[in-house]
Amino acid sequence: MPRGLAQKMIVSLTLIVLIVGAIAGAIDVRAQERHLLDAMLLGADQLSRGITAATWHAMLLDDRNAAYEVMQTVASKHGIERIRIFNRDGQVMYSTRRGDPEKRVGKSDPVCAICHTTKTPLVTLDPRLRSRVTEHGDEGRQLTIVTPVYNEPSCSQAACHAHPANTKVLGVLDVTLGLSEVDREVSSAKLRVFFVYTTQVLLISVFIVFFTRRFLGRPIASLIAAAKEVSEMNLERPIEIPHSSEDLGKLAMSFETMRERLRQALAELNEWTQTLESKVKERTDQLNAAHKKLLQSDRLASLGQLSASVAHEINNPVAGVLNLSMLMQRILKDDGIPPERIPEFRKYLSQVSSETTRVGRIVSDLLAFSRRSKPHRAEADLNKIVTSTASLIAHKLKLANVELDMELDPRLPLVLCDGSQIQQVVLNLVLNGSEALHGKEGGRLTITTSHAAHGGTVTLAIRDNGEGIAPENLTRIFDPFFTTKPEGKGVGLGLAVIYGIVQAHGGEVTVQSKLGEGTTFNVTLPLAPSGVPGAADSAHGTEAGRIA
């Protein structure tokens, strides 16, 4: 069965026409056959009555040979197969077919059963009830009609007194006619009916196909094409259906209304999208500017925390230089330096140079951290960044009684990053760790760097053995302005800034913590494209360094 509606209609209607035509043709053929048989039966009945009338005088005179000659003459005509006459006892008195046995038939024989179906034999029967059609092999079908020979008054009152008056039927005349002509006519009628109905079915099928495609197939195809256009968002083409019915026309109008509304909605949506994109871009620019300010603010806040530590760090070498300068002034006389004290003077001068260099390095690192520069990503040595940041915070850790361990991978590849921003990440995490260890005996911070052989990333881990973070706070520690510190001790921006910097570098920052055991922050960053190992020297910690 085809899937299309028009094809289904064509096939269904054609099948209906075929079935109706076949039934009508069969009925027509049966009607014609019945009409021919009725005509044949009427002729056979008239023939039987004619034979009875023709032999009446011979029978009245008891001239059997004359009666038999009449029967034989009639039986020689075309279409008459056989004429037999039975007496009232069922004895075959004569048959026109040579060789027929002279026998007696019973009441159950087809010849007699017609009248002897009841206890009282029937005297008068309709011709249809007195006839039967039988099949005789090569001879074809045959029509046999039985006609009673009645005992008329002229016969019962004759001088011979052969039959008593109370006998109503003297015998039976059995006439058999061939139906070959009828069968040929029926065959011709069947061919005519088949031809006529086949022609009608073909013509009706052609009209069904034509009108179904015109008034159903084409409009549906147009609707399908329009639906495809709408599905592909081609909404400018109006929907037109030629030769459509009222129902399909209403459907097309509804579809056209839907298309127009969808086109208007899409236009409004595009307009809103453009407006939204412009607003998103505007808000994104504002957020980027705010993020830059937040980064700088965090750097300034970290710088403020470093101020006290750096002041102490600078104060020690400056005080030493001052003391050394006073000693050198005492050694220096008006006439110069006494020869015996020249080595001592040189020793003090060397110490002054060393302490001054130390102050210069601290100030240089501090200025590098606080300097506001444009983001610039380049290949950087993460071990160097960790080492330089640790030198800035060393004094603060010492004052907090925190011991710092560094386990740096000597073959760490270069990282594509903004060095100053990654330094800010390291500094914030170390300061957070030191604050978590504030006042704890045996506080320890461990900084570890490593890289995945096949992962294309490096990992910076900063671990402390503090009190840890409560589980309910782990999911919020990177939220801006969320802090667990006492009021006035922090504003909750440090970890938010760290998260933003790491995400901007295409990395990831995670945290694991258990109460009473400590906390570990893991920062994962992508490698530089070259993947060349960093030139980490011994000064950066080729082995575990310890700063007290």
Q: Which residue has the higher pLDDT, 120 or 168?
A: 168
Residue 532: predicted pLDDT: 41
In 3D space, the residue among 414, 331, 324 whose CA is nearest the CA of residue 377 turns out to be 414
Residue 530: predicted pLDDT: 44
Q: What is the mean pLDDT of residues 532-539?
A: 38
Q: Which range is least confidently modeled, 109-123, 206-220, 232-246, 488-502?
A: 109-123
Q: What is the mean pLDDT of residues 6-18?
A: 80
Q: Which range is least confidently modeled, 135-149, 188-202, 356-370?
A: 356-370
Other CB atoms within a 10 A radius of the CB of residue 532 amount to 11
Please tell me the distance from the alpha carbon of residue 153 to that of residue 459, in angstroms, as a whole number. 140
Q: Which residue has the higher pLDDT, 539 or 346?
A: 346
Q: What is the mean pLDDT of residues 428-446?
A: 84
Please tell me the distance from the alpha carbon of residue 137 to that of residue 119, in angstroms, as a whole number. 35
pLDDT digit string (tens) for 339-379?
888 888 888 888 888 778 767 766 665 555 555 445 578 88
- Residues of the chain with pLDDT > 90: what percent? 7
Average of per-residue pLDDT values in the chain: 76
Q: Which range is least confidently modeled, 289-293, 396-400, 519-523?
A: 289-293
Residue 368: predicted pLDDT: 52
Asked if residue 335 has pLDDT above 70, the reply is yes
Residue 548: predicted pLDDT: 27
Residue 519: predicted pLDDT: 92
Contacts of 121 (CB under 8 A, 6+ apart): 115, 169
Q: Which residue has the higher pLDDT, 2 or 74?
A: 74
Q: What is the mean pLDDT of residues 110-123?
A: 60
Residue 83: predicted pLDDT: 84
Residue 218: predicted pLDDT: 73
pLDDT digit string (tens) for 271-324?
888 888 888 888 888 887 777 776 666 656 655 655 655 665 677 678 778 877
Banded pLDDT at 450 (limits 50, 70, 90): very high
Residue 299: predicted pLDDT: 57
Please tell me the distance from the alpha carbon of residue 347 to that of residue 166, in angstroms, as a whole number. 182
pLDDT digit string (tens) for 464-498?
998 888 888 888 888 766 777 665 455 566 787 78
Q: Which range is least confidently modeled, 78-92, 241-255, 278-292, 419-433?
A: 241-255
Other CB atoms within a 10 A radius of the CB of residue 540 amount to 22
Assess contact for 81 and 178: CB atoms under 8 A.
yes
DSSP string for 456-520? -EEEEEEEE-SS---HHHHTTTTSTT---SPTTS--S-HHHHHHHHHHHTT-EEEEEEETTTEEE
In 3D space, the residue among 264, 256, 265, 268 whose CA is nearest the CA of residue 229 turns out to be 256
Banded pLDDT at 197 (limits 50, 70, 90): confident
Question: How many residues can be counted in the chain?
Answer: 548
Banded pLDDT at 332 (limits 50, 70, 90): confident
pLDDT digit string (tens) for 28-49?
888 888 888 888 888 888 888 8
